[in-house]
Chains A and B, each alone.
Chain A
């Protein structure tokens, strides 16, 4: 009896194996039907929408795990995924670990807004040194002369400022601190840029919701969240003075305009504290990252072609989805440069198309 069972199982296994190998030999498949990516949580909603639409259109299923930019970079370096996603370009140290050239293809733009809980939710105007002073704890009260001067005509309360920041490592904190590092020398000396920094004051909330949760129940508090999150939750946000001296409201338009600058060919560019006159200064690209040479870890050319087509679609047709989800659209110049980058993708040293 037992022997029979063994025999049957063996036969079934053999049969199914031969089935698979048959389909494997079928030469019709040109493009892999399944891709996997991992990385940033910030564009998760957008990417899910991209991949859902793309699946309906081209029947290619893309599995995206929003595990965080850092983890995305690490999994790409471990070569277990087809592409990674990150809010901050890879550091030199990470690129060295990657061992081969990695391309950064921008997909959209995001922004970090300064939000607050003040009675009457007045429209505040802030500049880099004021933000830096508040988050470093040197500006302690709302009616501090620095804040009053920026907001002539608004009465600010004689109350202590409660600072709320992200407690978890995040691209949002990275963008926020990078802006302040560039725009304010005090910040650079005190904390610098990072996904987590050593906050001297304030409370930490986990995730955008954690920050918003603390903010809504703490009167006279101030914090920073992603633009999409503030828009979805009707949080008030401040106008920020950019390098050209203009106070800019964070909108999809002003965020996209932040990228209206000389872009380098590799598109690994930080656009915080932008030179663009109408650009919102705390904006950032978010990137999909992939190996330029696609033949690694036994991947075949069908995978490479699928990635190539996916990226082409995202940077062209896919861009129409961005603004429906409160993400900034790539400018024409950025798309042109992205095209050039995508064309650099190779398999066995040969271009894909």
Chain B
């Protein structure tokens, strides 16, 4: 009798927890939408395509921030892929024991460093080197449109590199876990057929962990989209559409962090919340598509 009741209570408690999460996400969406409503009414969808952001004259356009956010996030995720796959393979199949453990815990440590520390490190340590690199590229490869603007050090490139380092631990830890699930039978079968290590990795392991790589990428993309503090410190904060990798730019999250505290006019506050809403929706979409892709890959694998 007593056990029955405790079981029921436990079930109800869990149900409440589950709904709480649902309640929070829907609540945040509703709250953001209602606070952004003033700006949505004033600016409409063209908010997304206008490139001037001038709170002083009540002109609001989100295009520079959208472009800044997506370029830095996608570029850093793209560049992090070979690094994270390589590191995970190295740790799971090429080294064993203490050394692997030490590296793994160091990678986990990277994930726990506060982002403001990354920002400071980026600004004072990384940016000077990036400036040297940019100056060199500008001088010798300036004819390529990507490198075709005056380098300052801070800008899209610096933000991308800082993001790259920040998201690495996330994708590595996911991919590492999936690598553990590759059955030894398969690998051994590969070796038995005379394949060398590279061939086993390429033909057996990598296809097997595709879903893990997607999951890791999704996680790090979500992180890169929303990263605020570190990006703000190294991106140069210019509210204009960037034309090259060296240009200072701004992201959705960093412009909110910069302007929200001192925003006093209702339309300014509302437009900043509109930016937050866009960021929220995009993060949601990224997660949602990642889930879809994952499910496709997983069911495909089972069918095989």
Contacts and interface: CB of A to CB of B under 8 A. Distances in A.
Nearest to B152: A203
Contacts of B123: 210, 213-214
Contact of A169 (B152, B154, B258): B258
Given A198-B57, A218-B152, A70 B233 contact: no
Contacts of B254: 167
B233 A206 contact: yes
A217 B232 contact: no
A204 B152 contact: no
B56 interface: yes
Contact of B237 (A170, A171, A195, A206): A206
Interface stretch (B21-29, B102-110, B167-175, B259-267): B259-267
Contacts of B55: 169, 194, 196, 198
Nearest to B255: A167
A211 B124 CA distance: 12
Interface string A182-209: 0000000001111111110011111000
Interface string B39-74: 000000000000011111101000000000000000
B96 to A, nearest CB: 43
Contacts of A203: 152, 154, 236-238, 248
A70 B236 CA distance: 24
B258 A167 contact: yes
Given A196-B55, A197-B54, A204-B236, A214 B258 contact: no
A342 interface: no
A168 B272 CA distance: 13
Interface string A63-107: 000011111011000000000000000010110000000000000
Interface string A143-157: 000000000000000
B141 to A, nearest CB: 20
Contacts of A205: 237
A334 interface: no
Nearest to A162: B152
B238 A202 contact: yes
B236 A198 contact: no
Interface string B217-239: 00000000000000011001111
Given A94-B264, A199-B238, A194 B56 contact: yes
Contact of B153 (A70, A71, A217): A217
Contacts of B233: 206, 210, 213
Contact of A70 (B232, B237, B239, B262): B262
A246 interface: no
A300 to B, nearest CB: 30
Given A167-B232, A203-B238, A204-B237, A192 B261 contact: no
A36 interface: no
Interface string A51-71: 000000000000000011111
Nearest to B232: A206
Nearest to B260: A169
B127 interface: yes
A69 B259 CA distance: 12
Contacts of A71: 261-262
8 contacts: A191-B56, A192-B57, A196-B56, A199-B238, A203-B237, A204-B238, A205-B237, A217-B127
Interface of B: 52-57, 59, 123-124, 127-128, 131, 150, 152-154, 232-233, 236-239, 248, 250, 254, 257-265
Which 4 A-B residue pairings sit nearest by Cβ, starting from the closest?
A204-B237, A169-B262, A167-B237, A198-B54
Given A197-B56, A213-B124, A217-B131, 13 more contacts: A68-B261, A69-B262, A71-B261, A168-B257, A194-B55, A196-B259, A197-B54, A198-B59, A203-B238, A203-B248, A204-B258, A206-B233, A214-B123
